[in-house]
Amino acid sequence: MFRRSGLGLGGLALTWLLGDEGRLCAADGKQALPVPIKGLAKNIILLHMGGGPSQVDTFDPKPAITKFAGQNVPDSIAKRVPMGNSRLRTANLYPSPYEFHNYGGSGMPVSDLFREVARHADDLCVIRSMRHDSPIHTPADYLALTGSITGQRPSLGAWFAYGLGSENRDLPSFVAMVSGENFSGPPIYGPGFLPPQFQATVVKAGEGILDVKLPAGITPAQRRAQLDFLASLNREHLGRHGEHSELEARIQSYEMAFRMQTSAPEVFDIKGESEATRKLYGLDARETSEFGSNCLLARRLAERGVRFVQLIQGGWDAHSDLKGNHLTQARLVDKPISGLLADLKVRGMLESTLVVWGGEFGRTPTVEGDPKKPGRDHNPAGYCIWLAGGGVKGGRIIGATDDVGYTVVDKPVHPNDLHATILQAFGIDQKAVWYDHSGRREIVTDLGGEIVSEVFG
């Protein structure tokens, strides 16, 4: 057996090394990877606010709602909404319970929900004209994070892991951390039709990567020998039965796990961070400690070459008691996000790290639920996201919704357009990263995508 497998093991080791360095061809045998990065951005931290934060209560103030409080959305505005969003509520306009103030040299208006993030107003590029046609959480999550409502396409992070490779062979190129409610499950950080090894490594909030430590009494040399023997058996199986992407992914995951057993514990051990840094992210307060830890880990991962870090903070689905819901949710994330932006800047990382904040849709400017504790319904016809760092021009606002924040009236931006714009921050043509799936050349923005050039200047 060892005579037969000796050369194979050496070749296998070489294959892993070449794959880690991005010097192998893609699984279709046609596209050499990784695609070279030509933009300022080298890493991305995506902050997904699951449930749908309200645009008119965060970054898109609408004083006209106060003037017309209790009235219906004017027909001249309501008729602009596409047929797919006909369920959107038009009755009983509800003014924001939060005040807005202008911040920074740009004078950007931000609500009191995000007083800490507002300190970075001149770094933020707010797109107020996000729009799509799915008012249901899971399809909208799929659209926001995969580009399609089906949940069968690769997540944006998986595309990055596939197309750009890894900067650190001892850590995964795509990491996801989930806090709070996640309506849509693994597809929003899954590989879709890409080989399984490009799905996210999911990290449990506050615990890091589970089961990454070596068992008691097992040395690294013993684990290395175990994996080599297991790999030889798996390769022999592949030789007999042909290609099997799940088994290939399992082999690679064993190798990555072995390397993380020496690298990952250090990455996830934040005890060495200074007290000032811990306070910056809100680790000294119970309500901000979980998301603050995730944001701090996101910085540490990006610092060590992890290409794509996706943080999911669910719980923004305010069908009732919008005031209490959004206040609670913002308290969880405001200081940590502010700390992340400040820390990236002081370390000289913000220019090369793209930070994106937003949800799967916004919320209607009208009342839903108990009028004594009013909420807002889903609204994909007009909502906002923001970007910072990675070559983005800060202190600017792109697009607009109508006077009451019901629907987009200027420069509509679809999630696919946002994906194309994110690729542009890395200097990558959206057609440059492709995968041959069932005889068809698939790209990230297969369903369309126009770069929002104003983001960059």
Span 331-375, pLDDT tens digits: 999 999 999 999 999 999 999 999 999 999 999 999 999 989 999
C-alpha to C-alpha distances, 401 to 45, 96, 416, nearest whole angstrom: 27, 16, 19
- 114 in a structural domain: no
Contact present, 172 and 178 (Cβ < 8 Å): no
Omega before 34 cis (within 30°)? yes
pLDDT tens per residue across span 157-166: 999 999 998 8
Statement: residue 24 has pLDDT above 50 = no
Structural domain count of the chain = 1
If you write DSSP's letter for every residue of 348-363 in order, what string do you get? T-TTTEEEEEE-S-EE
Residue 63: which domain range? 2-106+119-129+143-170+186-306+335-343+357-370+418-456
Whether residue 400 lies inside any domain: the answer is no
Q: Is the pLDDT confidence value at 7 over 70?
A: no
Mean pLDDT of 421-449: 94
Residue 396 forms part of a structural domain: no
What is residue 323's predicted lDDT score, i.e. its pLDDT?
98
How confident is the model at residue 87, as a pLDDT? Answer: 66
> Tell me, what's the pLDDT at 13?
41
Bridge-based pairing state of the strands 43-48 and 308-313: parallel
Residue 312 lies in a domain: no
Residue 37 lies in a domain: yes
pLDDT digits (tens, 9 = 90+) for 220-233: 788 778 878 887 88
Residue 151 · residue 178 · CB < 8 Å: no
Please state the rounded mean pLDDT for residues 438-456: 95
**Which residues are within 8 A (CB) of 24 and not within 5 positions of it... i.e. 6 or more apart?**
15, 18, 33
Please give the pLDDT value at position 165: 86
The reported pLDDT for the residue numbered 235 is 78
Asked if residue 180 is part of any domain, the answer here is no
pTM of the predicted model over 0.75: yes
Closest Cα partner for 339 from 90, 47, 74? 47
Q: Is residue 111 part of a domain?
A: no
pLDDT for the residue numbered 34: 83
Assign 93 a pLDDT band (cuts: 50, 70, 90): very high
- Taking only the tens place, the pLDDT of each residue in 369-385 is 998 999 999 999 999 99
Q: Is residue 74 part of a domain?
A: yes
* pLDDT of the residue at 224: 77
